[in-house]
């Protein structure tokens, strides 16, 4: 879930009119905020199963929660409708028309992101596949740069550096000569087996990326109310670290404090 959310430029939050705000609604908003998703459009679903007063109450509840979580609760678009009615072709005012209105609000409210096309290409590997007679395909979202057919590349990670060449680029079953930052793509690479490349490795221009065993970070420790820790921690605690498409156990060292409390910032 973290990997998928980290790739988003914007989000549609769906809340059922029959249930209202649920605990997972708060958790998803917190995750969106943590990974830098600032633009959200809300869709209140199942309005065909709730009365008008209930829908209005749910909208008020959503706006209060959005404001509480640091979003622009007053101005975020909220559209009410029914996905079921849209699928079954019933009640177009809450069915197909509501879905079209949702898409228009997404186009209007979520800005087109500025892509970093000038830097060397970099792609965190999500999955690998083997195509008989053709070779190995790696998939992922191009984080920066432009990936062209014929480009030389390196796969870095898990204490390995593997060199290869891109022999094909494909996106949604369309063959491309090049892909740009932000594209979700599959790249056919030469001379590597499926088991050589693992999820979490970085595909990049040769010589531009190195792996590291030690990193210095500034972190915020979530409090219990935010869905985080209930107890403080000290140096040498072992935690699971997630970044891009990889995750691994890490040992944490806190240089300036004896312990870090929930709700605190620390290096």
Together in a domain, 138 and 90? no
Residue 1 has pLDDT above 70, yes or no: no
Residue 78 has pLDDT above 80, yes or no: yes
Domain boundary pick from 161, 180, 204? 204
Q: So what's the pLDDT on residue 2?
A: 57
Together in a domain, 41 and 101? yes
**In-domain check, residue 45:** yes
Length of the chain: 267
| 175 exposure class (CB count in 10 Å sphere: 0-12, 13-18, 19+) | exposed
Separation between Cα atoms, residue 259 and residue 208, nearest integer Å: 36
The boundaries of the domain holding residue 22 are 2-109
Kindly report the backbone phi and psi dihedral angles of residue 33, in degrees, each rounded to the nearest multiple of 5, phi listed first: -65, -40
The rounded Cα 128 to chain-centroid distance in angstroms is: 19
**In-domain check, residue 9:** yes
Tell me what the pLDDT averaged over the chain comes to. 90
Domain containing 140 — which CATH number? 2.40.30.10
Considering its fold, how many domains does the chain have in total?
3
Q: Which residues of 48-58 are buried (b: 16+ CB within 10 A; e: fewer)?
A: bebeeeebeeb
**In-domain check, residue 209:** no
Together in a domain, 188 and 259? no
Give 109 or 258, the one with higher predicted confidence.
109
Q: Tell me, what DSSP letter sits at residue 215?
A: -
Q: Tell me, what DSSP letter sits at residue 247?
A: E
Separation between Cα atoms, residue 254 and residue 249, nearest integer Å: 16
**In-domain check, residue 210:** no
Global pTM?
0.73
Separation between Cα atoms, residue 189 and residue 173, nearest integer Å: 17
Separation between Cα atoms, residue 155 and residue 136, nearest integer Å: 13
Mean pLDDT of 46-56: 94
Together in a domain, 144 and 181? yes
pLDDT tens-digit series, residues 19-44: 999 988 988 898 888 778 889 999 99
Q: So what's the pLDDT on residue 219?
A: 84
Q: So what's the pLDDT on residue 265?
A: 83
**In-domain check, residue 214:** no
Residue 5 has pLDDT above 70, yes or no: no
Together in a domain, 10 and 94? yes
Give me the residue label for tokens 């809450």.
94
Residue 226 has pLDDT above 80, yes or no: no
Mean pLDDT of 103-108: 95
Mean pLDDT of 88-109: 95
* 174-176 vs 40-45, strand pairing mode: unpaired
Q: So what's the pLDDT on residue 223?
A: 82
Together in a domain, 6 and 91? yes
Together in a domain, 195 and 243? no
Which two tokens mark 174? 């369309």
Together in a domain, 66 and 135? no
Together in a domain, 131 and 75? no
pLDDT tens-digit series, residues 157-210: 998 999 999 999 999 989 999 999 999 999 999 999 999 999 999 999 999 999
Together in a domain, 76 and 23? yes
Together in a domain, 36 and 79? yes
Separation between Cα atoms, residue 92 and residue 118, nearest integer Å: 45
Separation between Cα atoms, residue 156 and residue 148, nearest integer Å: 19
pLDDT tens-digit series, residues 239-255: 888 888 888 899 999 88
pLDDT tens-digit series, residues 135-147: 899 999 999 999 9
């Amino acid at each position: 879930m973290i990997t998928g959310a980290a790739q988003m430029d914007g989000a549609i939050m769906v809340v059922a009119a029959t249930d209202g705000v649920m605990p997972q609604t708060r958790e998803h908003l917190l995750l969106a905020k943590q990974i830098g998703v600032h633009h959200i459009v809300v869709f209140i679903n199942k309005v065909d199963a709730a009365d008008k007063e209930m829908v209005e109450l749910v909208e008020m509840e959503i706006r209060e929660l959005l404001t509480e979580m640091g979003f622009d609760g007053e101005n975020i678009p909220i559209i009410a409708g029914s996905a079921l009615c849209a699928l079954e072709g019933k009640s177009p005012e809450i069915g197909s028309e509501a879905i079209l209105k949702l898409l228009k609000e997404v186009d209007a409210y979520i800005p087109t992101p500025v892509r970093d096309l000038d830097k060397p290409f970099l792609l965190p590997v999500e999955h690998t596949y083997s195509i008989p007679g053709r070779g190995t395909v790696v998939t992922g979202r191009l984080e920066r740069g432009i990936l062209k057919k014929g480009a030389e590349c390196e796969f870095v990670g898990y204490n390995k550096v593997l060199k290869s060449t891109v022999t094909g680029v494909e996106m949604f079953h369309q063959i491309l000569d090049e892909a740009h930052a932000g594209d979700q793509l599959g790249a056919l690479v030469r001379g590597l087996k499926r088991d050589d490349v693992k999820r979490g490795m970085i595909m990049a221009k040769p010589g531009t990326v190195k792996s590291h065993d030690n990193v210095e970070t500034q972190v915020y420790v979530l409090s219990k109310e935010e869905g985080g820790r209930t107890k403080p921690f000290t140096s040498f605690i072992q935690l699971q670290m997630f970044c891009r498409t990889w995750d691994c156990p890490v040992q944490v060292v806190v240089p300036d404090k004896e312990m870090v409390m929930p709700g605190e910032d620390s290096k």
